[in-house]
Amino acid sequence: MLRLLGRRNAFNVRKVLWLLDELALPFTQEDWGRGHRPTDDPAFRALNPLGTVPVLVDGDVVLRESHAILRYLARREGRVDLLPADPAGAARIEAWMDWVAYEMTQPMRGAYLGGEQGLVPWNEPGFVALGRAMWAERMRVLDGALAAGGPYLAGPRFTLADVPAGFIVHRWFAMKGVAPREELPALAAWYALLSERAPYRAHIRNGLP
Ligand SMILES: N[C@@H](CCC(=O)N[C@@H](CS)C(=O)NCC(=O)O)C(=O)O
């Protein structure tokens, strides 16, 4: 049985929960992290010395980093529809996953951690404003890509490209501090399309930002 360690309300854990349900895989889940069991516990550090969630345990395989876990699960299940086996096809999907990991970090800190949650040190007004502006610009990038080749982010089918970015678009629409939002029709249509998926509604568009 797969074992997922990480609180259910964490951004990086929710992406993995979403995919586990897409794959209909049985798993157990444990609430580690902020507000729950602390990840500086030696039992947790033995699995992930970095102390971050999620961690996935699959027998002898112990994994950290949410996007590495997403790729592992898709490959483990042979789901080449989600992550193609050929290098070029995979790279087109992974480019969007890496884009979220790199390009969304500063906007998430400024607009969400600082602007929505008021967390120090991200709540400095200039940093919040910059984060919101950067997030808006990233949404225009997604809208342009979807308008050019949707309805999913990597083309006609749902793939792993939709998972990290699909969370970002949910949070964009859920944040109170960014209203009013620019109208981005292709982005809104993609959000509606993802919302038709039960695992997305269970773990991403589930009442939490
Ligand atoms: N790059 C890592 C980031 C992991 C990360 O920062 N996770 C956050 C939750 S979203 C965390 O561990 N926070 C500390 C805590 O919850 O105690 C990944 O994608 O898994």
**Are 58 and 112 found together in one domain?**
no
Indicate if ligand 1 lies below 6 Å from the C-beta of 65.
Answer: yes
Query: Which among 129, 126, 137, 135 has a CA at the least distance from the CA of 107?
Result: 135
Amino acid making up residue 42: P
Q: Which domain holds residue 163?
A: 87-203
The pLDDT of residue 143 is: 98
Query: Of ligand 1's atoms, which has the minimum distance to the CA of residue 52?
Result: 12
Q: What's the CA-to-centroid distance between 71 and ligand 1, angstroms?
A: 17
* Residue to mutate (ligand 1; options 14, 53, 106; most atoms within 8 A of CB): 53
| Inside any domain, residue 82 | no
What's the rounded Cα separation, in Å, for the pair 101 and 89? Answer: 19
Q: What's the CA-to-centroid distance between 148 and ligand 1, angstroms?
A: 33
Q: What's the CA-to-centroid distance between 138 and ligand 1, angstroms?
A: 22
What CATH number is given to the structural domain containing 150?
A: 1.20.1050.10
CA angle 62, 80, 63 (to 5 degrees): 10
The CA–CA distances, whole Å, from 135 to 93, 105, 106 equal: 21, 10, 9
pTM of the shown model: 0.97
105-139 pLDDT tens trace: 999 999 999 999 999 999 999 999 999 999 999 99
